[in-house]
Structure 1
Amino acid sequence: MLDLYSIETFALVGIGGAFGALARYAVIRSVPSQNFPVGTFIVNVIGSFILGAFTFSNSSSGILLIVGVGICGSFTTFSTFSLDTVRLIEENNLLYAAINSIGTLTASLFAILLAWIVFL
């Protein structure tokens, strides 16, 4: 078990976090999303599945720090999802705001459930 405040723990989370943030940036920038935040939707659903997969497959604490806390923590983005939804409301795209809100939450929960079914 790794010490919560050790240099090794900070390094594992930091390395994973850097990778996750860069991956999120790459996905969001590479997916065209004029009226709907497709990139944000994709990273949140994929990140949910990955987090579930590593959690339910009983990965070691070091792997969970790198992947779960680091990569998935910085790859997924609740704040951008929230901002995207508010921007859709501001633009009077209420249907897209509802689809984004309900769709992201539903798909992300389904992704975790799928990982649970596959890896437990």
Structure 2
Amino acid sequence: MGKFLAIGLGGFFGAVLRYWISEWVFELFKGRFPAGTLAVNLVGSFVLGLLMAVFENYPLHPLQPNIKFFLATGLLGAFTTFSTFSFETLVLLQAGSVGKAALNILLSVCIGIAAALAGYGLGKYI
């Protein structure tokens, strides 16, 4: 399988998964906070950290170089979304919800980095 096919297939699955999870979490919060985007970005950060550590610990077989492209670039690249985070934060600001916008930024950045670090730490451990 070629690199671009691996990325494309991963992207397909990541985008569908993001949509499903975002909608489910959006319903839980009744749209009062962009929790769906926050959830997928935090989960994606954790999983990417985990994968990168696992790939460091267990290098891929030379015949399987596209696994990393499928998982990291395709699946997680489509699963996470910086542009939606940015736009939803802008919408909160335009609505005068400065506190919610600030909370969204703080949670996304700080917990996102912590999630990536936690995933990486777990990946180094296993």
Uncovered stretches (5+) of structure 1, i.e. residues with no partner? 1-6
Give runs of aligned pairs for residues 26-45 of structure 1, distance below 5 A.
26-31=20-25, 32=27, 33=29, 34-45=31-42
Q: Which residue of 2 aligns with 1:55?
A: 52
Q: 1:64 deviation in Å?
A: 1.3
Query: Normalised by the size of structure 1, how large is the TM-score?
Result: 0.90
- Report the alpha carbon displacement of residue 117 of structure 1 after superposing the two structures with TM: 1.3
2:87 aligned with 1:90: no
Match of 1:111 among 101, 112, 115: 115
1:33-55 deviation per Cα after TM superposition (whole angstroms, max 9, x unaligned)? 42200100000000011111111
Distance 1:91 1:55 in 2: 38
Listed as ranges, the gaps of 5+ residues in structure 2 are none
Q: How many equivalent residue pairs?
A: 114
What does the per-residue CA deviation read over 1:27-82, in whole Å, with 9 as the maximum and x for residues that have no partner? 11112242200100000000011111111101533221011000010000000000
| Match 1:15 to one of 9, 12, 33 | 9
Partner SS state of residue 96, structure 2 = coil
TM-score (normalizing by structure 2): 0.86
Task: Write the distance in 2 (CA, Å) between the matches of 1:98 and 1:63.
Answer: 37
Q: 1:28, 1:117 → 2: CA distance?
A: 26
RMSD: 1.2
Q: Secondary structure at the match of 1:21?
A: helix
Q: Give the structure 2 partner of residue 3 of structure 1.
A: none
Take 2:107 and 2:85, find their aligned partners in 1: how far apart are those partners?
A: 11
User: How high is the sequence identity, in percent, across the aligned residues?
Assistant: 34
